[in-house]
Amino acid sequence: MTRRDTNNLFLFALFLQNAILLILGSSPFSLLLLTTMETICYYLLYKYGREDINCGIIVAIALTHLIIASFIKIILFQSLDDNLIFPLLTESITLTYFLCATLAFFVTRWLPVPRSRVRSEPNLRTLELLILISAFLMLIPLASGSSDDANAVNGQTNFAGVATRGFPIVAMVASVVRALKRSDGTRIVDAWSASVLGAAVILGLASNSREAVFTPILIALITPLYYGYRFSFRTIAIVAVMIGFVTAVVSPALLIVRNDRAFMSFPERIEKTVETAGLIMIFDPATIEATRRPLDLLTYSVWGRYFGQPIPLADRIGLIQTTDALAATAYGSSYVALGDNLSDMFKSLFPNFVLTWFDLYVERTKTTGDKVASSLGLADPNAASFLAR
């Protein structure tokens, strides 16, 4: 297929997509935003896709904010503006920072760079040592008893959970590279990579985090592509089925169990998540109903709000709803009360446990999290939450 044929195919698909969305009631500005995103992504991939990996950042921003969501909108017969609180303001903000990110990409290409050095690949022993160290560090939260970012009771930061958050990714990358080097680029799965992937997924289930479950899987799929590995059609089909299973079953199960995770130990979280996933697979009526309202403690759930109904991973493939939430908060809320003077304002920038080191105290009348929740109608503005402690 020539470049002219590819361009014509892209223009036809773009025209057809915009025509359908226009019929569904999308505003001209929302179509301008979508068209700009898709056109820039197409140009960057065609011109720089094979020589500059940074263009993937621009493409990822567009895909996760609106492009993927636009196809879901078509399937659901919804316009791009449906379920947004401030459509024009949100789309304006999204278009602005997308264009700024694109401009930053071109500016970095124009900057002078030093001559690249010869890159040396790590040997197998170095990779194995890196895998062992990373695996040991990523399992520290299991020994400490908590992998959450903060303590649900007193709100204090869990340094063991935060500081070790990136080591499953390091271990996964190193194990996949080791498998490729040991098999001369023919395999990505061996005893090392399978063990690291299993441990990372179990740790994600124990911490009740969708990101901790999905990220190692994505890393295991993306890393081989950088080294020129090509997946077979059978592998692609298996991966597609696995992603569908995780999206439709595991993700809702994690969200349902999340409400009670503060009262569960690691084994109980895993057991409850597996049990909930099994109930979803057999279409248990009560569990299926719970998947439609996984955040039942809130009167109005932001999760999946852009699509008008709970959709697993909707808050990852429709990030424009997050921009809309922030825009609505900034537009409709007042300032958070931080104190009566400049000293209180600076002290409020630090968590309470840091202030206690210096015998300082500041009155926090309303936390930022509570302010955002009450401004969006997610919680009673007169109610106190654990965030205020």
Q: Is the pLDDT of residue 195 over 60?
A: yes
* pLDDT score at 122: 75
Q: Residue 389 and residue 366: Cα distance in Å, rounded?
A: 10
pLDDT-derived band at 339, boundaries 50, 70, 90: very low
H-helix segments, the chain: 3-23, 28-48, 55-62, 68-75, 87-110, 124-138, 140-144, 159-163, 167-182, 191-207, 210-226, 233-245, 251-258, 266-281, 285-291, 314-317, 320-332, 342-347, 352-357, 368-375
- Three-state DSSP at 150 gives strand
Question: Between the CA atoms of 308, 313, 315 and 319, what dihedral angle is there, to the nearest 10 degrees?
Answer: -100
Q: What is the per-residue pLDDT across 300-330, written as a single tens digit (0 to 9) for each?
A: 444 567 887 666 666 677 888 888 877 776 6
Share above pLDDT 90 across residues of the chain, in percent, rounded to a whole number? 13
User: Can you give the pLDDT at residue 365?
Assistant: 54
For residue 257, give the 3-state DSSP assignment: helix
Tell me the pLDDT tens digit for each residue of 137-169.
Answer: 887 777 666 656 555 555 555 666 666 778 888
Query: What is the predicted pLDDT for the residue at 161?
Result: 65
Q: Say which residue, 152 or 64, is predicted with more confidence.
A: 64
Q: What is the pLDDT of residue 350?
A: 72
